Structure 1
Amino acid sequence: MFHTRSSSYELIRHAGFSYFPLAFIARLPFAMMTVGVLTLVVAERGSVTLGGLNSAAAGIGTALAGPLLGAAADRLGQRRVLVPVGLVNATLLAAFPFVVASTTPALALLAMSVLIGASAPQIAPMSRTRLVAIIKRSVQRNQRERVLNGTMAYESAADETVFIVGPFLVGLLATAIAPWLAIAGASALTFVFVTWFALHPTGRLHPGAQDARHEQAPARELARLPLVTVVAGTLGIGFFFGATLTSLTGFLAADGSGDRAGLLYGVMGIGSAALALGSAAFPERFSLRARWLVFGSLMLAAAIAYATARSELTLIVALAVLGCGIGPTLVSQYSLAAQLSPLGRSATTMTLLGSAVVVGQAVSSAVTGVVVDRLGAGTALALPAVAAAIVVAAALAHIAATPHVDRQPERELVPA
């Protein structure tokens, strides 16, 4: 998983051998949320537009509350934030299928979707923050950069796998049993595994809380252009996820098989997870900025092929190639964010990126749903290419914002 075995062992030993599978499973509800909401509403209410709007509403809730939850975790510690938030989210998810199946007005349904998004426990950024804290405490200074890059590679691969497995599970459960079961399953996973993750011993490691009393950087440091471009890049990834899944759903729904979208969507996960993990072995001279631009461009090229596809086989091939671009792109973005994170703002920074992915996915789902209903699925297939172009544009903006460096000082990772 990491370049240096002894340093890797130190990280795993301090985190605990149960930590990584626990953190992986605890992410699943977050990845199932927007897709599950979309699938359930489309199945029960018969409208791709309404389903997309509810998915977007969940994203808006995440956008409003996600960074605030990250800031609260920086100051109060993750346990005090994750336990109550997880219990609230599990309750809302459990109630959502009953609300959708009732005669509840669409506006009330949207309001509940906002609350579901606002209370979504963001395990991925919290996990990254914990692991960065362990690296700071247990890994020798001369090994930290390599271990950081390997850790971000693993975390991004886990995210990629979860964001593919989540929709895959939703599609599988919707096809084999019923659409409501995916949301019910997300509720159960949140109740059990998010609570377990919150109470895990690593939950005591929250560098923001320690730094806040001494030398936490001001919030305006988060608005520096290099970091803003990274957030914009992850937002583009979110746009891509939402546009791809919803356009794929619309394309398959034309033949009455829209509930299979999650299964086909899972094809992206193969190359994505493999390349994300493999990116830890890239040579250091292949800088993070260059990786972002190269693999983002691969995404764009494959997305153009996806836009012209009119058969299921062609779509599958395009999705497989797209996966090879997404994984390394996300690894590069999260590694850059870890390096650019202001002192004492690690959880906030990682939550900003996680929120950007979910918000982008939700908003893009809504827009793509409208395009499917009004202009047809064939037109909607072009939207992932637009999202991939945003990812490439953000990479170019980041390179322009950091013209003289390939790597920024590790403010959060390596304290003075």
Structure 2
Amino acid sequence: MSATASRRPSYAAALSVPHARRTFAAALLARLSYGVAPLAVMLAVTRATGSYTAAGVVMALFGATVVLLSPYRAALVDRHGPRRTLTPMALLHAGLLCTLAAASWRPGAPAAVLGALAAAAGACAPPLGPTMRVVWARLVGDGPLLHRAYSLDGVAEELLFVTGPLLVGAVIGVTSPAVGVLLGAALMAGGTLAFVTSPAVAVTGTEAGARGASGEGPDRVGRSLPRSLVPPVVVAAGTGLALGAVDLMVVAFAAQRHAGDAAVTWVLAALSAGSAVGGLVNGSVSWRLSERRRLPLLAAALGVTLIGAGAAPDTAVLAVAAACAGLFVAPALTTAYLIAHDCVPAEARTRAGAWVNTAVNAGSSTGAATAGLLVDRLPPGACFALAGCVALAAALAAGCLFSSPRRPFPFPFPSQGARKVSRRRGRP
């Protein structure tokens, strides 16, 4: 990959656009709930039921409804606009989290009740990340500044998932984990209400939805997924799958070398730090290669560095290797979101971003589950190699798909309204 020094506007230029700071801050406040609530729910359910199995099932239900229904919730946002859809979603999601906190406050809560509440809460989780990326496009346009804004968004999201667990740790140090669930609910409700009342959000999605509903302008994307959207979805899934397995593989690596839990936290922190640095650098240069060419290369670089990480002799070297692998994570995901943004019409961009988001989350969950099966049967080095091969396979698939003829895939792409017409054309 080659890049030239950039004369593009700075990150400050993206934030200096009218209403950008207020809107972005509100979105981040609400999205912080996604870094707080899952861990708090898991700890609250574990304490309430006294069963790790029950906690695992509850979290699986919560994660499944968050991930699998995300494109359909995003379709509602595209159709009716953020104000009409995100507000009831967020309030219902927060209300169900509060109910779950109340139910898990004392030991002895039925696991079935907690599971039902968690599944219902996940089903209502608003697609804040995809919506914010659509708002960024509204604020800064489709020029070079959008790349900068997406990179900033990706880095901030990475930091949210570091900050969230730290907040939960601080809360449970002084009170019940159920209070952490209440904190997640408060962040979601307060942040979303601040987000949807921003002037930048007022018109996002509603104009496109109105044109489609009245027949003025292009109809919405039909049930065929555009081929150009498949490569970013594949890379996002491969990236999520590889990274979802890394956490447990690092634990197994440290245990094999008797390094202790502190070493695990340093390695995972290095991975997140590398991703943040990579995201900032990615948005700071003018790339000569197009996004379609960069995406497979970024995924391949992630795969190669993960394979190399497995050969680390100790956790210190593994931390360095993890940081190197992280350099390609945020750039790969940011590029995937940019491609998704460009390959669909304006009235379907929230859905397109949600598909990439869904792929990352579904891949991460699958990777975590698969790693649990592998680490008991294979040495950590082999597990890292397999994770790297997954990223390489995603890169190869994306490269082949970009170079093949563009025909739509018969894959479910949620659409709204009665007319279904095929047409050419980003974590929740």
**TM-score of the pair, normalised by structure 1:** 0.79
Q: Aligned runs of 1:297-308 on 2, under 5 Å?
A: 297-307=300-310
Q: State the secondary structure of the residue aligned to 1:219.
A: coil
Q: State the secondary structure of the residue aligned to 1:402.
A: helix
Q: Taking structure 1 as reference, are residues 108 and 365 closer, same or farther at Cα in structure 2, changes over 3 Å only?
A: farther
Q: Aligned runs of 1:249-398 on 2, under 5 Å?
A: 265-307=268-310, 312-369=315-372, 375=376, 386-398=386-398
Q: Aligned runs of 1:82-231 on 2, under 5 Å?
A: 82-100=86-104, 102-136=107-141, 144-171=142-169, 173=171, 179-207=177-205, 208-213=208-213, 214-220=216-222, 223-231=225-233
- Residue 239 of structure 1 pairs with residue 237 of structure 2: no
8 Å contact 1:307–1:385 — kept in the other structure? yes
Q: Taking structure 1 as reference, are residues 189 and 106 closer, same or farther at Cα in structure 2, changes over 3 Å only?
A: same
Letter in 1 for 2:130: P
Gapped runs of 5+ residues in structure 2? 1-5, 406-423
Q: Taking structure 1 as reference, are residues 75 and 329 closer, same or farther at Cα in structure 2, changes over 3 Å only?
A: same
Deviation at 1:384, TM superposition (A): 6.1
Q: Taking structure 1 as reference, are residues 7 and 237 closer, same or farther at Cα in structure 2, changes over 3 Å only?
A: closer
Q: Taking structure 1 as reference, are residues 51 and 306 closer, same or farther at Cα in structure 2, changes over 3 Å only?
A: farther
- Residue 28 of structure 1 pairs with residue 32 of structure 2: yes
Letter in 2 for 1:239: L
Instruction: Single out whichever of 186-195 and 259-268 deviates more from structure 2.
Output: 259-268
Q: Deviations over 1:67-108 (max 9, x none)?
A: 111111111110111111111211222333454553344444
Corresponding position of 1:68 = 72
Provide the aligned C-alpha RMSD in A.
Answer: 3.7
Gapped runs of 5+ residues in structure 1? 137-143, 406-410
Deviation at 1:124, TM superposition (A): 0.9
8 Å contact 2:14–2:145 — kept in the other structure? no
Letter in 2 for 1:184: L
Q: Deviations over 1:193-220 (max 9, x none)?
A: 1221122222212243244243344433
Letter in 2 for 1:102: P
Deviation at 1:388, TM superposition (A): 4.4
CA distance in 2, matches of 1:218, 1:342: 8
CA distance in 1, matches of 2:261, 2:113: 25
Higher helix share: 1
Q: Taking structure 1 as reference, are residues 382 and 158 closer, same or farther at Cα in structure 2, changes over 3 Å only?
A: farther
Deviation at 1:383, TM superposition (A): 5.3
Q: State the secondary structure of the residue aligned to 1:94.
A: helix
Q: Taking structure 1 as reference, are residues 399 and 131 closer, same or farther at Cα in structure 2, changes over 3 Å only?
A: same
Letter in 1 for 2:391: V
Q: Taking structure 1 as reference, are residues 215 and 391 closer, same or farther at Cα in structure 2, changes over 3 Å only?
A: farther
CA distance in 1, matches of 2:21, 2:190: 19
**TM-score of the pair, normalised by structure 2:** 0.77
CA distance in 2, matches of 1:262, 1:244: 12
CA distance in 2, matches of 1:39, 1:382: 31
- Equivalenced residue count is 396
Flag the structure with larger Rg. Answer: 2
8 Å contact 1:171–1:261 — kept in the other structure? no
Letter in 2 for 1:209: G
Deviation at 1:17, TM superposition (A): 3.1
Q: Deviations over 1:20-40 (max 9, x none)?
A: 222222211123344444455
Letter in 2 for 1:394: A
Deviation at 1:364, TM superposition (A): 3.5
Deviation at 1:237, TM superposition (A): 2.8
Q: State the secondary structure of the residue aligned to 2:125.
A: coil
Corresponding position of 1:400 = 400
CA distance in 1, matches of 2:281, 2:191: 28
The percent of aligned pairs where both chains have the same amino acid is 24
Q: Deviations over 1:141-199 (max 9, x none)?
A: xxx33122222222222222223333444455556766444433212211211221122
Letter in 1 for 2:288: R
Q: Taking structure 1 as reference, are residues 246 and 91 closer, same or farther at Cα in structure 2, changes over 3 Å only?
A: farther
